Amino acid sequence: MTYHYRIDTPVGPMTLTKDGDALTGAYLENLVPPLDAVGKRDAHAFADERRQLEEYFAGERTRFDLALAPHGTPFQQRVWKALLAVGFGRTASYGEIARAIGRPEASRAVGAANGKNPIAIIVPCHRIIGASGALVGYAGGLPRKKWLLAHESTQLPLRAARLRPISDVCTPR
């Protein structure tokens, strides 16, 4: 059974979608798919997701523990899995993600896959930046990306000991 539910967050409304027990989408307001395509509205189906997002925005959570099932190509799936390895308060470049998945020549394709990530914030595509360190390309808009990175950086000193570089947790296939 598929469900959806809209929540309010500090970065604007977010629509969550789910198929069975797995989250399939966390869409910022400008990216919401047609709701008739994502099932029935049900607040109870999203209790864990809502709680964990509230904890994230309150600065109490640095890692999500949710079943995820984003729909995408095998390449997109590899990129999205690599995004999960970019720790809270950290950033990585498109090139670093490309190297992490064993496709060092594919930084532009990584950028395209990053832009198609259907599970914003939880699959942290906002942590991916340009090689120069510039904030580039965020489907939710650069002001949101800047806000999310600033939010995480204010929480970072308390959690720095738990962070690992992407190369420690993401190995190429």
The CATH number of residue 82's host domain is 1.10.10.10
pTM given for the model:
0.86
The CATH number of residue 34's host domain is 3.30.160.70
pLDDT in tens, 108-141: 999 999 999 999 999 999 999 988 888 887 888 8
The residues that are catalytic are 125
The domain tally of the chain equals 2
pLDDT in tens, 27-79: 998 777 777 777 888 999 999 999 999 999 999 999 999 999 999 999 999 99
Q: Is residue 64 part of a domain?
A: no
Task: Specify the DSSP element, H or E, that contains 16.
Answer: strand 12-19
Q: Is residue 83 part of a domain?
A: yes
Q: Is residue 24 part of a domain?
A: yes
Sign of the alpha-carbon dihedral angle for 87, 136, 139, 167: negative
Q: Is residue 63 part of a domain?
A: no
Domain that holds residue 40: 2-57
* Residue 85 sits in the same domain as residue 51: no
